[in-house]
Amino acid sequence: MNPGLAALQPYPFERLRALTANVSRADVSPLTLTIGEPQHAPPPDVIEALSRALDGVSRYPLTASSDALRGAIARWLEARFGLEHVDSSAQVLPVNGTREALFAIAQVLVSPGSPGQVIAPNPFYQIYEGAALLAGTKPRFVGVSAENGFLPDFSALTADDWQACELLYLCTPGNPAGAVIPEAQLQALIRLAEEYDFMIASDECYSEIYPDEAQPPVGILQAAHAMGNTDFKHCLAFHSLSKRSSLPGLRSGFVAGDADVLKQFLRYRTYHGCAMPPHHQVASIHAWSDETHVVANRALYREKFDRVLPILEPVLAVARPEAGFYLWPETAGDDEAFAVHLLEQCNVSVLPGRYLGRDVDGVNPGAGRARLALVAELEQCVEAAHRIADCLCRG
């Protein structure tokens, strides 16, 4: 078997189930703030388009998806990030959600058997680690902490580290802290990628959840374009409808950027057998072509932060993120004990921060924090905040 399988760690939610299996929970309705699964109603027009297109299941879809879908994505990229021209036939590839593509890209880009060739933030989305291990290498983690504004601290990396790198995973806005990597830092990383010949995989699935309509987060393709890299060499951006449009079950996203790499990725995916179903493609065209529902979606998250933060701030060291829908508070002690205590006292589930990180030199940057996903309806989030505040006040 693939030896990387033995190195895979239990997924965070599996660890949480084991931690809480025998916990006696407070006798009130459960409220879950653990998984980042949007609970807002999906756009009705998209659901209607999906149902009207069901006759498409009688045909095999193309791995590259339809011209219409790639065109809709290219137009969205141009409008959202101020790009002059995106070649929909060569620089865009629809995928079945960013999770699938973020994993698969490592299988294309990484040479097995050479440890340290994948660099990733820590804490991180667990797919980055699994992708590296199953591609036959080990990730090199870069710490993300409050001291660095919750941005990856690349200062400890040497020229040898960059020389060994084949793939750099970024997450901007970040999971779990929501920090946005500035354009200047993205451009510095692109210059490193050009110098040392590695690829940047920028996970931007939270890019459309942000507080200020006038200041959307910058993306890797936008940063490349601004520095004259209009072919997006060494750059791949991953986007999804899961968070943007509250459509996690549609499993629809895309990767865009370097045409040479996408040509090989398409070849890989042709063998991998992961074409997007035709009716999902039709629904996705409608979703990427409409911004009204996205603006409304952002307003819902904005209201949650406005309502929840004043309740939690007196009892937790917590702050509004730059983007995304997570809170990343300090737990003032052991984060596993914190999660167990909330379950026992108020039946609110949160994710211990250490489950999203790894020990590096004896330090796990997620330890002593918890991730709270504000994805439920407004009143449920407010109720959860009140319960947490009451519980922590009681001690």
Per-residue pLDDT tens digits for 38-48:
999 999 999 99
What does the alpha-carbon distance between residue 3 and residue 64 come to, in Å, rounded to a whole number? Answer: 31
- Indicate if the pLDDT at residue 136 is higher than 80: yes
Average pLDDT over residues 284-290: 97
What pLDDT shows up at residue 273? 86
Helix/strand/coil percent split, the chain, to 5: 45, 15, 40
What pLDDT shows up at residue 6? 92
Q: What is the pLDDT of residues 166-181, one digit of tens each?
A: 999 999 999 999 999 9
Total residues found in the chain within this entry: 395
What pLDDT shows up at residue 116? 73
- Indicate if the pLDDT at residue 231 is higher than 80: yes
Choose among 384, 355, 338, 378: nearest CA to 129. Answer: 355
Share of the chain above pLDDT 70, in %: 99
Q: What is the pLDDT of residues 240-254, one digit of tens each?
A: 999 999 999 999 999
Phi, psi for residue 256 in degrees, rounded to 5: -140, 150
What pLDDT shows up at residue 86? 97
**pLDDT band per the 50, 70, 90 thresholds, residue 97:** very high
- Indicate if the pLDDT at residue 63 is higher than 80: yes
What is the set of domains in the chain, with CATH numbers?
4-41+293-394 (3.90.1150.10), 55-290 (3.40.640.10)
The Cβ-side half-sphere exposure at 16, using a 13 Å CA radius, reads 24
Choose among 159, 181, 178, 184: nearest CA to 170. Answer: 181
What pLDDT shows up at residue 156? 87
What pLDDT shows up at residue 173? 98
- What residue type is 302 in one-letter code? R
What does the alpha-carbon distance between residue 42 and residue 8 come to, in Å, rounded to a whole number? Answer: 34
Signed CA dihedral, 280, 283, 289, 290: sign only: negative
Contact 251, 100 (CB under 8 A): yes
Range from 4-18, 56-70, 108-122, 205-219 carrying the lowest mean pLDDT: 108-122
What pLDDT shows up at residue 113? 77
Share of the chain above pLDDT 90, in %: 92
What pLDDT shows up at residue 353? 97
Instruction: Please count the other Cβ atoms lying within 10 Å of the Cβ belonging to residue 381.
Output: 26
**pLDDT band per the 50, 70, 90 thresholds, residue 138:** confident
Choose among 201, 186, 280: nearest CA to 242. Answer: 280
Alpha helices in 110-145 (DSSP H): 127-134
CA 131 remoteness from chain centre: 14
For residues 82, 83, 84, 86, the Cα torsion angle rounded to the nearest 10 degrees is: -150
What pLDDT shows up at residue 123? 97
What b/e sequence results for 8-37 when a residue is b if at least 16 CB atoms lie within 10 Å of its CB, and e otherwise? eeeebeebbeebeeeeeeeeeeebbbbebe
- What mean pLDDT, rounded, does the chain reach? 95
Contact 246, 41 (CB under 8 A): yes
Contact 116, 126 (CB under 8 A): no
What does the alpha-carbon distance between residue 338 and residue 342 come to, in Å, rounded to a whole number? Answer: 6
Phi, psi for residue 102 in degrees, rounded to 5: -65, -35
